[in-house]
Amino acid sequence: MKTHVSEVFSSIQGEGKLLGRRQIFIRFSGCNLNCNYCDTPESRDPDRGEYISTDELQGRVENLITPDLHSLALTGGEPLLHSDYLKEFLQNNSIDALLETNGSLPDELSKILDLIRYASVDIKLPEHEAVPRWNSLLDNELKSINLLIEEGINTYCKLVVLPSTKIDTVDFIASKIVQEVENNSKLPLIIQPESPLTNWQSKQDKLLEMSEKVGRYLDVLVIPQVHKFLNVR
């Protein structure tokens, strides 16, 4: 099987709970959403990159293995647009894999649930303008989180917040997760301030307030995109 892979490279994870881990990033082409803060807009093009087989991808991954390798990062675009390809690739792969997904495709997610170790679900806010029907997107994100937790996958959620994001919106998302997600007591929710951080000058108190709101319900962390400080991809 072949698909479009935008890029394959080794770097340091700069977001979320695997922050600082050496990973091999496999960036798939195409995305079904259109977020206004997207930092990889070029990867939304479904034809970007090379059209390669799972064997070719395996070879590229093997060439990038380093002694400090922690895991693969399956990212995009939206990697679950390639779920059948991912399934074939992961069935022959022995390295732990982190799936970075927007959570909008629970049916595709269910095809590879037994093949991933970690998952990051990026929850969209209404102001991200990702889709016109935001409520149904949120329902699918919650369904995806439930599937991951039921399968015992080490899962965390990520909320990219903008300086204009309302505290009440963050509060609403956290409370919705608690209502709709089973066994949520240890679920981390990472508040990720949009880059660049210069946009947050004199607005840091807002991040503290958001953290306090989420902390009433979930295991909250505030983590910016650290790879941008390290000047790595």
Candidate residues 34, 136, 179, 199; the one interacting with ligand SF4 per rule CB under 6 A: 34
Strand-strand pairing, 188-193 and 2-12: unpaired
Region from 12-20, 26-34, 58-66, 212-220 binding ligand SF4, contact rule CB under 6 A: 26-34
The 87-116 contact track toward ligand SF4, x by CB under 6 A, reads: ---------------x--------------
Binding flag, residue 35, ligand SF4 (CB under 6 A): yes
Q: CA quadruple 201, 188, 12, 118: dihedral positive or negative?
A: negative
Q: What tokens does 64 get?
A: 């990038």
Candidate residues 24, 33, 109, 189; the one interacting with ligand SF4 per rule CB under 6 A: 33
- Residue 156 CA to residue 233 CA, distance in Å, equals 22
Q: CA quadruple 6, 92, 68, 78: dihedral positive or negative?
A: positive
Q: Report, in Å, the least distance between residue 160 CB and ligand SF4.
A: 8
| Residues 86/112, Cβ–Cβ less than 8 Å | yes
Q: Report, in Å, the least distance between residue 24 CB and ligand SF4.
A: 19
Binding flag, residue 78, ligand SF4 (CB under 6 A): yes
Binding flag, residue 40, ligand SF4 (CB under 6 A): yes
| Residues 44/91, Cβ–Cβ less than 8 Å | no
| Residues 148/113, Cβ–Cβ less than 8 Å | yes
| Residues 40/65, Cβ–Cβ less than 8 Å | no
Binding flag, residue 223, ligand SF4 (CB under 6 A): no
Footprint of ligand SF4 (CB under 6 A): 31, 33-35, 38, 40, 43-44, 76-78, 102, 130
